[in-house]
Structure 1
Amino acid sequence: MNIARHIALLDELCFRPFAAEYTSSDGEMSGPGYHIVVLESSHGDCGTRAATVEQYEKYRDALDEQFASRWRETGPYNLQTVSLRTAQEEIPEPWASLSARARVACVWEAEGTGRWVAVVVADRDEADDVKLLGVVTEIDPP
């Protein structure tokens, strides 16, 4: 993992305009009010899924340390409860899809930008690659 590269990309996304409609290309997805980028991916190496999840959690925690020192330490954000809420209420994107893909998010309010930054380990779908995702959104966490 290149932590400096990941931080620079998330910083850049804090100022990049959002797409008017959902778009996807080269591991980046954008929609009205959000960007999602793949920071790391297991690329189909499911033989070491548990080890990959553990490693990506360490990467997420390393990013958490860096952003917490900059923007304020926050506790883990439980996306599983957000996922449960989708049955009863409309959860906005990107939070609804993140809750279907990940269990926990590290979330910070990027001071001075009006945006939120989140990092998650997307591992809930056993048929999909494990991914470390970075998210920048102007939509408050639900």
Structure 2
Amino acid sequence: MTTAEHLDTIDRLRTRDFPEVRGRSDVGTSGPGYHLAELGASRWYGDEDAAERVAQEEQVAAECDALAQRLTERWGEPDVFTLASLRLRSEGEEAAEPWQEIGDTTRCVHLWRAGDRWVALYVSQWGADHSPQLMAAVTVIDPP
């Protein structure tokens, strides 16, 4: 997908109602108060060599940077924060969704306030054998 297509997806999610129960959507997962969008196709690493893995990771990082720049042009500089404290806290308690899932799959998010909703941009990593994936979240739930 292109940066323009990613922006279109985020714009559609900003105006879409939230479902009453968690489930799959046309672009990812949605639940009460949030939408998570899988902006890039994620896949399992195959027999690629280390150079191929690095190239894939650099491609996703470049897509994230390009999209972050466009979102910054719209809403100003993002808050960029690490979710390390969320991981530490979650050992004894769960954070509200979508923040728990986001914190389980990434270390850092770019976060903008867009009207009455938060827009988060991040790169998720579901495991060592899974390629990184560009993700966006649109939510009315305040970050932890």
Q: Taking structure 1 as the reference length, what is the TM-score of the superposition? A: 0.88
Q: CA deviation at 1:36?
A: 0.6
Query: Which residue number in structure 2 is paired with residue 133 of structure 1?
Result: 135
Query: Which residue number in structure 2 is paired with residue 22 of structure 1?
Result: 22
The 3-state SS of whatever aligns with 1:41 is coil
Q: Is 1:33 aligned with 2:71?
A: no
Give the Cα separation in 2 of the matches to 1:45 and 1:13. Answer: 29
Structure number with greater Rg is 2
Which consecutive residues of structure 1, in runs of 5 or more, have no partner in the other structure? none
Q: CA deviation at 1:43?
A: 2.4
**RMSD across aligned C-alpha pairs, in angstroms?**
1.7
Query: Which residue number in structure 2 is paired with residue 120 of structure 1?
Result: 122
Closer, same or farther in 2 for the Cα pair 1:16/1:76, shift >3 Å?
same
Alignment of 1:58-137 (within 5 A): 58-110=62-114, 112=115, 114-123=116-125, 125-137=127-139
Give the Cα separation in 2 of the matches to 1:87 and 1:100. Answer: 11
Structure 1 outlier segments of 4+, above 6 Å: none
Give the Cα separation in 1 of the matches to 2:82 and 2:120. Answer: 12
Q: CA deviation at 1:103?
A: 1.3
Query: Which residue number in structure 2 is paired with residue 12 of structure 1?
Result: 12
Give the Cα separation in 2 of the matches to 1:63 and 1:120. Answer: 10
Q: Taking structure 2 as the reference length, what is the TM-score of the superposition? A: 0.87
Deviations 1:18-61 (A, max 9, x none): 01001114541000000011100242244233322222111111
Q: CA deviation at 1:76?
A: 2.0
